[in-house]
Structure 1
Amino acid sequence: MTASYRSSTSAAGVDNTLQVTRPPGTTAGDQILAIHFSFNTTLSAMTAPSGWASAGSRGTGLITVRVWRKTATATESGSYSFGQDNHGAIHVVCLRDASTAVNVAITEGVALTAATPGVAPADASAVEIRAAAVYTFPTTITGWSGPSGYTLRGQVQSANVLSSAAATRQTNSSVSSGEQQFSETPAAFHEFIGVSISVGSGSTIPDTEPPPPFTPGVGESQYRYKFHRLRDGHYLGDLPLVNVNFDKRILQPGTFSATIPIPDRDVGALVKEIIPEDETVLDRGPGVITCQILRGGEYWGEYWITGATPTRSGQGTPTIALRGSTLDAYFLQVELQETLPTFAAYDQIDIARELLNHMQSQPYANLGLVLQGGVSGVERDRTYNADEATYGQRLTELAQVDGGFEWAINILSGPAGLERHWVWGMPLGVQDPAPHVFSDDPHGGIITGWSEQIDALRGATRWRARGDRISTDASTSSTPLISAAAEATAHLEAGWPRLDRTITYSSVTEMGTLEDYAAYWAAVAAGALRVDAVTLTLGAEPSFSMNSLGDTARLYFDNEWHTPHWRTRRIIGIGITPTSRNDGKETAELVLEGQEVAP
């Protein structure tokens, strides 16, 4: 289970005890953290009610702080009283599905802003709490801004002496997110103290399903189809699927389809534990569940199940057709409904991680993604306003630009089971030397089929990008920004006619960004687009897996159409058809190079 923010409360005052209400919705088993700041109070005078344990403290200046934690009980008090000697401010944060693993770091100083230090992640998926307090005399703080990418959870002030704020964010990394700054209004030099807390996720519900059935393929292979809830990973059961097909592609969601035969009522009862017949059962079924696919005991994919169609034809027995997508399809279903802080000269990978972390910090939207670290060396300026765009749209737009990047979600096995890793590259995958070699020639080879699509109407020779209207005067008309055309010079000089395409980016108001988009499409989608594919027969231990997107492959062709030659191409899509009752062969289709053009 992945830890997430549930609720919080804050309070401030000058009495010897500071009372704060319990965070709303607190449930037995939740982890509760209290960050208590006080002015001119000794640490020994700062006390907590019975049941709270100290998790950290610091008090060498005018402001002291103590961090407390507890596990909520079924008879949790409606409020808490903390001891102090002077002005105080407190933030109480409740986390669901969290463990007792807590890391705390504290710093202090004098500055225009209030710094919070980097803190070691308590888990690969954790909730991070940042809180700061400043000595305000003689001014009064009128407002706080949290660190970029964090959600402000509370701000309180005791007279004109002590002011404080707290913020949270979801983290999915083994690397510290570093020092983060709070800023206050008005800005002035203040003595401050800053606290950073990382709280780990709770233990995963054990996977106690029976051993998988054996499925023959070329050599030996085993396929297993496990069904879990998307958000908390709760295991629901295995199902005997047939007619299974699943694929994965760079920068677009992959698809999944399968059939569940129901030959008798016993199997029907098993299926109902995962695909309920009763529409009032809300904790399973399409939208709630994923199918985790294992091949030979290793994860080969996870698909969010979004549709199920029970049918019966003629005198046959019922079947259920399943359909689903890779988890990047979920990014397209969560709208960015609040304006993010402006990114000025940010590395594009940092922006991508901020988008993903912000999505996962929203209620009920945390997928527990582990985000690959590092930077690209390419800086961007981006502004994301609250509108009806989704996080998936913004992430794809950020990647598909001149000098952009590629990304995918790789499924890996971790200590607690399946892990979802967001990975990126420029480009993605292993390029040199090519890690995969396939052949189609008269003497044999594992390539059993191939296709080469050449389509002049999917590309263009002149590309423009259209942005937003920039007039702020509602009484006058305005036209959207449009970049100059980026031309496919080599094609035009070789005799190609002018073929125009204009791609719309409705939220962009910077001409430089539009020109980068136009240059990107002119580089990757000039002239006739080619999408080549080869079909392979898989052995027991193929050189590639579903995590091999972006890898290069060397292919040898010698047949009635191809003169003998080698070619090196990138793998941008992988589709798998496991063995079934109808076909004893396990096959893979690799999509090579090519580029899908945005509508």
Structure 2
Amino acid sequence: MVASIRDATGKPVANASSISVSRPSSSSGDVLLCIHSANAGDLSSMRIQGSGWQTVGSRGDDRLFGGGGGTKVYRKTVGSSEPGSYTVQQSTGAGTVVMLSIKGGHRDQIIVWDDGDSGLPPEFELDEVTTPSAYPPSASGVDIRVAVAWDPDGSVSWPTPSGYSTQSTQQVTGALAMVVASKTLVTSASVGSVRFRINRNATAMHGFTIIVPSATTTESTPTPPSFPDFSPARGSGLYRYTVHDLLSGAYRGDIYPTDVTFDRRIGEAGAFSATLPIPNRRVADLVAEIIPRYASDLTSGPGRIAVHVWRAGDLWGEYWITGAMIQRSRRGSIQIQLRGSTLEAYLDHVPVEEDLEYEGDQISCARSLLNNMMSLEGANIGLTLGDGTAGDPRNLAVKAQDATTYGTALRGYSQTFPSFEWVITPAVGQHGGIERRWEWGAPTIEGAREHVFTDSPHGGDVLDWSEEIDALRGGTRVMVRGGTPEVEDASEGSTPVVSGWESAAAHMTAGWPRFGQVVDHPGESTWEPELNYYAERWIAALGGAVRVYSCTVALGAKPTLSPSSLGDYVRRIMVDQWHPRINAGAGFDQSQRLIGVGITPVSRTTGREEAQLILEEAHV
């Protein structure tokens, strides 16, 4: 499971010696992070009550003439029985607390780096702080940034850094202000520093970078890397962006964005980002019909609208718009930054509010779950559900008390052996209307087409490529940990059911060292044979070192490949320094399944059109 933030809570106090903060929504095995800042006393007076908490980072008062206090970061693993709130203690004064629950995180490999600065006399003015760079222990996890300001001269607002999402802001006006932002970590390369600037002056500021790596990789496909902002390319394309009501599909208008990127992936939601320039009042009035100026206008805006991406008359994507940032630069120009996701993300935000249970073939159970969601008021997004069955009967049960969503439940169910893959593909129907097709494949989605790209000293389509090899995401031994059986007498206690240990026999025979992982079963099964099957599947797919492949290719005027090509195969034929010719043939000639594609259309920045391809790892 790839680590991700499940929920966040927080609380400020103006003058107290303790702060009680609600536990964020969490499940057994989640990692809890507590970030606590105070403006008085010693660091030793700052602590959190309850068992299992450990301090993983701290920084003292950076003010030249401060009264003490500082920032501490604590972590613990959620057990089977946790209180509804936790209490942090401090010297009497102002304090802020933010608590995060992280599913799929590795508690023992959390990295915390800190930095700080203070205002200099006589004004003691400081309005920015840098969260430092860090080296992630693996290529999957969550990158969390924390900024804290002391003694700000008024109410503080924190702009969200590009690529990050704000999880929580807490402040005591005139005393303390804190912001916590995060993004998905998709590389083991160094993550750079991120600067936070506020609209006020402070006497001191702290900046923390917290990396929570994924505990394990339980999927046979890797987490796709991020898409670059710039790569030289060739080719051209004609794009149109239309805005529609998410539920009714009603046309709202066209938009003309710049710096557009969008992607689709198997196994997770794809992303959309774009910028809308506002050069004059006429354009502003047109855009305001789609992005309302005022909160009281409920007719449109993020959460209600979707953008359809058209290329040369073909529908290349549909993205639920979930956020917009309207901002004015110091030069006076106004622009709106849009962000959105494919409809898989919508499923991730519809909570399951009642217990559900279905029996039969796994695909039939999945369809029943989606039909139940669409039967809810305001949740019928008109999915056309692919027919057929996989021939694998498997019950599906979802409990409301788990505080899960339809998307999370379906994803966990589909990843449980015997697994299947699914995507939501927008398409133009026979009668001209837009269809949202839920498509599936068991165990994988397999396309019938092969797309060929070449690279040689004489030129080609491949602009750049990468192959990342990560032994820490694999292993030569694995055991799968399932759920904990229910017991009638809670005082008797219970322990999770586990599989037997499985070995990567070929690697061990070849002389590889013994190293491994205990991975969590995505469905928390308590049936030992199912856990054993999952362990066999894991070691077959991820034994040894995991290899993650990606490449960027140029798109011509009429490419065979599009975002709907997921599951097709990409054949790369390359000759270069790393792949010299072999017997007069190409040094690299390999076909791999396409599991993700990111598109950068023609723009003033790129000048050409390109696609980044995420390719399935080669199985051992």
1:579 maps onto 2:602 in alignment: yes
1:505–1:444 Cα change, 3 Å: closer
CA contact (8 A) 1:400 1:517 kept: no
Map 1:159-178 → 2, pairs under 5 A: none
**Residue identity in the other structure for 2:608:** K
CA contact (8 A) 1:401 1:519 kept: no
CA contact (8 A) 1:463 1:487 kept: no
- Match of 2:537, SS state, is helix
CA contact (8 A) 2:266 2:422 kept: yes
Identity across matched positions, percent: 45
**Residue identity in the other structure for 2:494:** S
Return the offset for 1:515: 3.2
Equivalenced residue count is: 377
Given the alignment, which residue of 456, 479, 488 partners 2:471? 456
In 1, distance between residues paired with 2:486 and 2:506? 34
CA contact (8 A) 2:428 2:435 kept: yes
CA contact (8 A) 1:470 1:480 kept: no
In 2, distance between residues paired with 1:350 and 1:263? 51
In 2, distance between residues paired with 1:527 and 1:368? 43
Given the alignment, which residue of 491, 507, 516 partners 1:499? 516
Structure 2 residue runs of 5 or longer lacking an equivalent are 1-232, 581-586
CA contact (8 A) 2:357 2:396 kept: no
In angstroms, what is the RMSD of aligned CA positions? 2.1
1:369 maps onto 2:387 in alignment: no
1:588 corresponding residue in structure 2: 611
- Match of 1:520, SS state, is helix
1:401–1:505 Cα change, 3 Å: closer
In 2, distance between residues paired with 1:594 and 1:282? 45
Given the alignment, which residue of 334, 358, 372 partners 1:358? 372
Map 1:38-437 → 2, pairs under 5 A: 221-343=237-359, 346-387=360-401, 388-414=403-429, 415-430=431-446, 434-437=449-452
1:504–1:479 Cα change, 3 Å: same
Return the offset for 1:527: 2.3
- Match of 2:395, SS state, is strand
In 1, distance between residues paired with 2:479 and 2:417? 13
Return the offset for 1:550: 1.1
- Match of 1:421, SS state, is strand
In 2, distance between residues paired with 1:400 and 1:511? 17
1:546 corresponding residue in structure 2: 563
2:176 corresponding residue in structure 1: none
1:513 maps onto 2:524 in alignment: no
1:438 corresponding residue in structure 2: 453
**Residue identity in the other structure for 1:403:** P
Return the offset for 1:384: 2.7
In 1, distance between residues paired with 2:482 and 2:443? 26
In 2, distance between residues paired with 1:294 and 1:351? 33
**TM-score, length-normalised on structure 1?**
0.60
1:582–1:522 Cα change, 3 Å: same
Return the offset for 1:386: 2.6
CA contact (8 A) 1:299 1:418 kept: no
In 1, distance between residues paired with 2:532 and 2:246? 39
1:570 maps onto 2:593 in alignment: yes
1:203-256 per-residue CA deviation (whole Å, 9 max, x = no partner) reads xxxxxxxxxxxxxx9555210111111111122111111100111111111111
CA contact (8 A) 2:463 2:552 kept: yes
Q: Which is further off, 312-321 or 491-500?
A: 491-500
CA contact (8 A) 2:479 2:498 kept: no
In 2, distance between residues paired with 1:323 and 1:520? 36
Map 1:527-538 → 2, pairs under 5 A: 527-538=544-555
1:275-320 per-residue CA deviation (whole Å, 9 max, x = no partner) reads 1110111231111111110000110001111111111221140111
Return the offset for 1:537: 0.8
1:559 maps onto 2:614 in alignment: no
Return the offset for 1:594: 3.3
Q: Which is further off, 414-423 or 247-256?
A: 414-423
1:324–1:425 Cα change, 3 Å: same
1:586–1:455 Cα change, 3 Å: same
1:505–1:583 Cα change, 3 Å: closer
1:356–1:486 Cα change, 3 Å: farther
In 1, distance between residues paired with 2:241 and 2:254? 6
CA contact (8 A) 2:237 2:602 kept: no
In 1, distance between residues paired with 2:250 and 2:237? 26
**TM-score, length-normalised on structure 2?**
0.58
In 2, distance between residues paired with 1:444 and 1:537? 11
Structure 1 residue runs of 5 or longer lacking an equivalent are 1-216
Return the offset for 1:445: 1.2
- Match of 2:354, SS state, is coil
CA contact (8 A) 1:492 1:498 kept: no
CA contact (8 A) 1:427 1:550 kept: no
